[in-house]
Amino acid sequence: MKMLVRTGALPACAIVAAVLSIIPAAAQTNHGKQIWGSVQVVAPIADDWFVSGEIQPRFSSDNAATAPITIIPPVLSWRKSESLILSAGYLYAFIDGARLPNDLNENRFFQQASYRVGAIGRVGIRAQTRFEQRLRSTGTQWNARIAQQLLIATPLTKKESGGPVGVMSVELYLNLNHTDWGARRGYDDLWTFAGVQLPITSSAALELGYLNQRQRAVDGRRNMNHAAVVGVSFQLARRIRPPAVVPTVGPGLQPKVRNHEPVVSK
């Protein structure tokens, strides 16, 4: 078996391990239950340019702090190659929770690089690095945040494309500065996801899975959300070759289309 491992995966793993080691174990944890939905549409507009949009409704137990609705208007992306896609966009989120202010919302701009890291046999390794600028309605100061995702995926059958794909990802959020609305420099959030992508048609896919969201402790209390994830994605303009990496701020949603091999490194 030919094996290809690139060293780019090691920094992301080291970051996650370092953060987990410094999270205080003594903090009390509030466990919330959620259902995260997602509908994503990807529309190529030229050979190497495409737009994607996403809406993410979330349903929560009373004690869960979450964003009941997140709207991501069209994100513009440029494909340098199948190993690197650069994107920029905007996100709006209405945020709700029993211990949060009323009418809380967030405006967020982001720039993102989605790239292939390597492969081990039939297991593909991808990553996303996102730089975010955030402002919440309860303050006036902008927060800068880095989100680093590492994703592995592998076909669950002998088919290299067109069949179900197993996906696991971890995404670490680090704040770069303090703000007057509550952001604090350092660790902010950690998402861990495991699920499966199922093709519906040649241009649509369903994603099902479990997501654990571990938020930073505030006043000795941490929120941890346990979410069932249900997402669907659609690929438009089938005459144009679809991207192998699709920008997302969700767990790992990507469209699955004919002759599209998301897990095989070339």
In the chain, which residue ranges form alpha helices assigned H by DSSP?
A: 9-22
Q: Measured between alpha carbons, how far is 75 from 131 in angstroms, rounded to an integer?
A: 14
Q: Is the pLDDT of residue 261 over 60?
A: no
Q: Which of 64-73, 97-106, 143-152 has the highest mean pLDDT?
A: 143-152
The reply to whether 259 falls in a domain is: no
The reply to whether 154 falls in a domain is: yes
- R_g of the chain, CA atoms, integer Å: 18
Question: Domain range for residue 138?
Answer: 3-13+32-235
pLDDT of 36-66, one tens digit each?
999 999 998 888 899 999 999 988 887 776 7
The reply to whether 180 falls in a domain is: yes
Alpha-carbon separation of residue 160 from 121, 179, 197, 254, 265 (angstroms): 12, 47, 13, 16, 12
The reply to whether 251 falls in a domain is: no
pLDDT of 210-249, one tens digit each?
999 998 877 777 889 999 999 999 888 666 665 666 666 7
Q: What is the CATH number of the domain that holds 185?
A: 2.40.160.40
The reply to whether 250 falls in a domain is: no
The reply to whether 64 falls in a domain is: yes
13: tokens are: 């793993």
Q: Residue with structure tokens 């939905």?
A: 37
Q: Measured between alpha carbons, how far is 214 from 56 in angstroms, rounded to an integer?
A: 19
pLDDT of 133-181, one tens digit each?
999 999 999 999 999 999 999 999 987 777 899 999 999 999 999 999 9
Average pLDDT value for the chain: 82
The reply to whether 192 falls in a domain is: yes
The reply to whether 56 falls in a domain is: yes
Are the beta carbons of 195 and 209 closer than 8 angstroms? Answer: yes
Phi-psi region of 121 (alpha: psi -120 to 50; beta: other; left: phi over 0): left
Shortest CA distance to 246 belongs to which of 255, 237, 236?
Answer: 255
Residue with the larger pLDDT of the pair 197 and 253? 197
Q: Measured between alpha carbons, how far is 157 from 163 in angstroms, rounded to an integer?
A: 7
How many domains does the structure of the chain reveal?
1
